[in-house]
Amino acid sequence: MLKQFGVGVAIAGSGSATPTAKLTNEQLSQVVETSDEWIQSRTGMRERRVATVEESLCSLSVQASQKAIEAAQIPKEAIDLVILATSTPDDLFGSAAKIAHQVGATHAVAFDLTAACSGFVFGMVTAAQYIRTGVYQNVLLIGADVLSRWVDWSDRSTCVLFGDGAGAVVLRADETRDRLLGFELCSDGTQNHTLTLAFQGETKPLVDEVNAKLGNYQPITMNGREVYRFAVAKVPEVISKALFRANLTASDIDWLLLHQANQRIMDAVAQRLKLPSEKVISNIAKYGNTSAASIPLALDEAVRDGKVKVGDRIAASGFGAGLTWGAVIFEWGINNG
């Protein structure tokens, strides 16, 4: 039975997990022709994590989820919905239900959501709609990707960028106020070709004139220059629109939390919004671009380091393949006492 409309959303806890193996810029220079100076000057990255054969998207997601549920101080059985934002599931049919089972969310419905590097932001907005309409009370939102599976390790323009990881948050119904203050989501399929992880197959004749197409997904391809131009132009715009919907301005924001794609993009967006570098949350040097995991991973680290505190206002924006981009303005935390 639906509760009355007007229920608010609170972001009650976070968690994250990364693979044990580190791959530094110096080590990458043994794989492709590159250098630590070249990578750092263009991206801000020093190292990234790579999933071992024992690790998987599910195992990383379960670790992050368990930490988020513990931080939110709710029983795992109280989770009503699990949303997994990912482009690299362990199973192409979806991994959310398996993760829900392994976490112990025995009463939850679960599904995957794919919006590449924007996935976590799209997932937060999706989760909020279920909560605001009273359908679900507690939602576990996971952003996770294992892009090392789909990188061409001979292509130095892409292999230096990506890493693996998972982050999660618990969103809860709040009868007193709504801490998700505003959002804006966008997409543009005409630019899909600039960043892809595409299927490529060969025709297999079956019978008469019936043919099938069999193959596999090809490694990531990206036009870095075009993606950079897109992000620097569109991200400040979408954040400004989300702030307008929240009846706020950039000066009201405590933290700018962007998809960790490139430090130069983050610096450019902050400058256009007239926000000082001290307000920009960044861990790109340690993890590189972890796609849907990057925002919740950076958020969880900032919360656990004591940087982000209950009541802080955060402007988060994801952007990437699709092309998709979006922003959400939220107030961190809830007093669990």
Q: What is the C-alpha separation between 75 and 77, in angstroms, rounded?
A: 5
Q: Give the pLDDT score at 97.
A: 98
Q: Where are the alpha helices (DSSP H) in 133-209?
A: 156-159
Which domains, from first to last, does the chain contain? 8-179 (3.40.47.10)
Cα separations (Å) of 289 from 45, 159, 263, 283? 9, 10, 10, 10
Task: Characterize the bridge pairing of strands 255-258 and 313-320.
Answer: parallel
The contacts of residue 274 (CB under 8 Å, 6+ apart) are 250, 251
Q: Which residues of the chain have pLDDT under 70?
A: 1-6, 335-337
Q: Give the pLDDT score at 1.
A: 30
Provide φ and ψ at 259, rounded to 5°. -50, 130
The reply to whether 159 belongs to the active site is no
94-102 contact pairs (CB < 8 A, 24+): 95/57, 95/58, 95/61, 96/142, 98/58, 99/58, 99/61, 99/62, 99/65, 99/142, 100/140, 102/58, 102/62
Q: Where are the alpha helices (DSSP H) in the chain?
A: 25-28, 36-43, 57-72, 96-103, 119-132, 156-159, 224-245, 263-272, 284-287, 294-304
Q: Which of 58, 117, 138, 159 is catalytic?
A: 117
Q: Give the pLDDT score at 116.
A: 96
Q: Which of 25, 138, 159, 259 is catalytic?
A: 259
Q: Which residues pair with 22 in a beta bridge?
A: 49
Distance of CA 10 to the CA centre of its chain: 18
Return the structure tokens found at 216: 């596999």
Nearest to 72 by CA among 172, 181, 176: 172
- 309: DSSP letter: -
Q: Give the pLDDT score at 334.
A: 79
Q: What is the C-alpha separation between 254 and 12, in angstroms, rounded?
A: 18
The reply to whether 259 belongs to the active site is yes
Q: Give the pLDDT score at 3.
A: 40
Angle at 187 between CA 183 and CA 192, to 5 degrees: 150
CA atoms within 13 A on the CB side of 50: 19
The answer to whether the CB of 83 falls within 8 A of the CB of 141 is yes
The answer to whether the CB of 132 falls within 8 A of the CB of 333 is no
| 59-81 per-position pLDDT tens digit | 999 999 999 999 999 999 999 99
Q: Give the pLDDT score at 2.
A: 37
| 242-288 per-position pLDDT tens digit | 999 999 999 999 999 999 999 999 999 999 999 999 999 999 999 99
The reply to whether 58 belongs to the active site is no
Q: Give the pLDDT score at 6.
A: 67
Q: What is the C-alpha separation between 302 and 282, in angstroms, rounded?
A: 9
SS3 at position 11? strand
Tell me which residue has tokens 């391809």: 221
Q: Which of 25, 138, 283, 289 is catalytic?
A: 289
